[in-house]
Amino acid sequence: MSDNSNTHSLPLYALGSYGSSRASHQTPLQRGFISVRLHRPYRDTRIFRIPRPESFEELQVMACEKCGVLARPRELVFYVKHRTQLGSGQYGSLNWVRLEAWNWGRFRDSLSNSATTPTLKIIWQPSQATLRDLRDTAGYSDDGEDESSDFDSYT
């Protein structure tokens, strides 16, 4: 897709990430996994693993699926843990760097196969309309009770 400006209003299957590339037909074992820390409003932080995405758009789709049906790609902010290179083969400290479509190629290799330490952080910053929808959705509570089990299988 060349224009990502209206992807927030499309259903997830319409974003075109799945089935559009040869890499999406590989098994997760061929691609590897990355560990993700997700910060959601009104809920605690969750850590889970996802198959290593081949494109930024595929990452957005997977993240929306993990956040829930009401999440929109434009409401997600991605950060990747990246070690700065000082030169002469020396490396500096690990920092969280904002990951966006334009710098995806540079930081894609920073997504390591770590099973314990998250190398990707996603902050969900829903719009006011999404927050209203969340409050009105059955089964969603901001007190932590009656939480859906979509994240329980990943933690």
Mean pLDDT across 115-120:
63
Residues 64-81: tens digit of each pLDDT? 888 776 778 888 889 888
Residue 119 has pLDDT above 70, yes or no: yes
Query: What 3-state DSSP class applies to 139?
Result: coil
- Map tokens 């314990």 to a residue: 116
pTM score, two decimals? Answer: 0.58
| pLDDT value of position 92 | 72
| pLDDT value of position 118 | 62
Starting at the earlier edge strand, list the strands of the sheet with 120-124.
Answer: 46-51, 33-39, 120-124, 76-87, 90-99
Residue 23 has pLDDT above 50, yes or no: no
More confident residue, 155 or 32: 32
Give CA–CA dist 24/31, Å, rounded.
9
